[in-house]
Amino acid sequence: MEQPRFPEHIAERILGKVDTVPMDLWIGANHLPLKVVVDTSAAAEASGAPPPQTVRYTMTYSDWGKAVNVTAPPANEIRGN
């Protein structure tokens, strides 16, 4: 699987300015992730976004192993890269 990449025009702006992306990871007793917090504020600022810029993503996970129902979105709501 190919690794996700920044769009080239953004990657050129942050190249050499951002070495790390801070991330906090909470792991449950079952060794599966419970929560991940990723802070891309430095990358946003390096890309030219006006300060102060706070860009933080929080992902929470639960109900590992339970069945889910997923419905694909309509074609008009899907965009390519």
The model's pLDDT over 46-81, given as tens digits with 9 standing for 90+, comes to 888 887 778 899 999 999 999 999 999 999 998 775
Contacts of 56 (CB under 8 A, 6+ apart): 37, 38, 39, 40, 41
The DSSP line for 45-57 is HHTTPPSS---EE
- pLDDT at site 13: 76
Q: Where are the domains of the chain?
A: 8-61
Per-residue pLDDT band for 5 (boundaries 50, 70, 90) equals low
The model's pLDDT over 15-55, given as tens digits with 9 standing for 90+, comes to 778 888 889 999 999 999 999 999 988 888 888 888 777 88
